[in-house]
């Protein structure tokens, strides 16, 4: 029983990380149909910015979050304006272009900072564990779980309660008609992409104390996060959250029953089956294309 409770918590912790990475992807994919394979590299950039701020400027993870968000969002904005914007009419080609951008970002970091792994200290206040009976939970992981829920809430507010969100939803529904109503879809897309990249940056900042920070850390994450987006359903925020929780928990539980790797394989097989039978995901949003 103890094992299961602890695994459930580990699953939740993994789900919260997946959710934060997937949220950015979900709004980019949902809004623009762009499969952003450079997203993992945005996460990696976020992690490195945090590392740089901590070692060179002496700012801890928590105060660094806004700076990381802005820095990575700027990179995202540049990428969008320079490359992605030119490819809106060729959705499959965005997979290739963003993969190329991913290689470039990864190599720039490798050349500039080096390939060896970097370590970032977690915040002092959140060190230590909370114990409830046999359940041992790291305070930092608890914080990450709540933070990811907060990010989900903020993103949801942004999408449904602001003028920007309304315009974005309009563009998702029908780009041409929205343009007729005077919405500059190009600008909306640029901002959306930058926001998604910024979220990836924050995710990267938060996982630095949990993962080792290396230039290739993003490649594995992006596949998982993308599966979360697809399982959740096109552009559905709630879907992404549920899918992240499902995939995180399923991976954690499978790894007790079988082993870690086989658990991951089982989850991947489940995802493939799910896409086969529900290609529009668990929570499809109604769009007219």
Partner 1 sequence: MSSKFQFELVALVIFAVVIAFGVPAVMNYDGFELNTFARYLALAIVSMALALSWGVTGLLNLGQAATFGMGSYAMAMHLKLRASSGLPDFMSWNNVSELPLFWVPFNSLAFTLLAGLLIPAFIGGLIGIFMFRARIAGVFVAIITLAFLVAFQLLVINQQGLTGGQNGLTGLAQMTLFGWAFDPYSMGFYYLVAGCVTVALAIGVYLTHSKFGLVLRAIREDADRTRFFGYNVANYKTLVFCISAALAGWAGMLYTLVLEFASPTYMGVSFSLAIVIWCAVGGRESVIAAAFGAIVVNMLEGRLSDIFVEGWHLILGVIFVLVVMFMPRGIFGLLVEGAQKLRTVGRARPGHAVEPLSTTPLETNQER
Residues that bind partner 1 (CB under 8 A): 33, 35, 83, 86-87, 89-93, 95-97, 99-104, 106-108, 110-111, 219, 223, 226-227, 230, 259, 261-262, 264-265, 268-269, 271-272, 275-277, 279, 289
Q: Is the dihedral of CA 209, 215, 220, 222 positive or negative?
A: positive
We find the least distance from the C-beta atom of residue 43 to partner 1, in angstroms, to be 16
Cβ distance to partner 1 smaller for residue 56 or 276:
276
Q: Which is nearer to partner 1, 69 or 189 (CB)?
A: 189
Q: Shortest approach of partner 1 to residue 219 CB, angstroms?
A: 7
Provide, rounded to whole angstroms, the least separation between the CB of residue 201 and partner 1. 20
Question: Residues 41, 43, 46, 50: what is their CA dihedral angle, to the nearest 10 degrees?
Answer: -120
Min CB(156)–partner 1 separation in Å: 25
Cβ nearer to partner 1, comparing 99 with 156: 99
Q: Which is nearer to partner 1, 111 or 177 (CB)?
A: 111
Nearer to partner 1, 112 or 133 (CB): 112
CA angle 93, 99, 102 (to 5 degrees): 145
Assigned token pair, 220? 């594995």
CB of 67 vs partner 1, minimal distance in Å: 26
Q: Answer positive or negative: Cα dihedral of 238, 243, 244, 245.
A: positive
What's the closest the beta carbon of residue 34 comes to partner 1, in angstroms?
Answer: 10
Tell the smallest beta-carbon distance from residue 109 to partner 1 (Å).
10
As measured in angstroms, the least distance from the Cβ of 113 to partner 1 is 13
The nearer residue to partner 1, 13 or 251, going by C-beta atoms, is 251
CA angle 127/2/149 to nearest 5° reads: 50
- Our CB check for partner 1 shows the closer of 55 and 259 to be 259
Q: Of 170 and 275, which CB lies nearer to partner 1 in the complex structure? A: 275
């Amino acid at each position: 029983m103890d094992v299961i409770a602890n695994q459930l918590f580990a699953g939740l912790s993994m789900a919260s990380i997946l959710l934060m990475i997937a949220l950015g992807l979900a709004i980019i994919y949902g809004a623009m149909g762009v499969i952003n394979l450079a997203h993992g590299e945005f996460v990696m950039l976020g992690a490195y910015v945090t590392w740089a701020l901590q070692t060179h400027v002496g700012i801890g993870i928590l105060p660094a979050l806004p700076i990381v968000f802005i820095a990575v969002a700027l990179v995202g904005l540049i990428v969008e304006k320079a490359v992605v914007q030119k490819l809106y009419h060729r959705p499959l080609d965005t997979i290739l272009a963003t993969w190329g951008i991913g290689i470039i970002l990864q190599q720039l970091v490798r050349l500039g900072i080096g390939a060896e792994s970097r370590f970032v200290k977690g915040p002092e206040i959140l060190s230590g564990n909370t114990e409830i009976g046999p359940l041992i939970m790291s305070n930092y992981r608890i914080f990450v779980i709540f933070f990811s829920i907060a990010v989900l809430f903020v993103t949801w507010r942004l999408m449904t309660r602001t003028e920007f969100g309304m315009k974005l939803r309009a563009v998702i529904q029908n780009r041409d008609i929205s343009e007729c109503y005077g919405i500059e879809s190009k600008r909306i897309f640029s901002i959306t992409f930058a926001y998604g990249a910024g979220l990836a940056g924050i995710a990267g900042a938060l996982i630095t104390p949990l993962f080792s920070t290396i230039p290739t850390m993003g490649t594995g994450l992006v596949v998982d996060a993308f599966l979360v987006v697809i399982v959740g359903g096109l552009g559905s925020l709630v879907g992404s959250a549920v899918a992240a929780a499902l995939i995180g928990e399923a991976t954690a539980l499978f790894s007790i029953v079988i082993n870690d790797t086989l658990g991951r394989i089982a989850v991947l097989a489940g995802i493939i089956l799910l896409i086969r039978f529900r290609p529009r995901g668990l929570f499809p949003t109604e769009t007219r294309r």
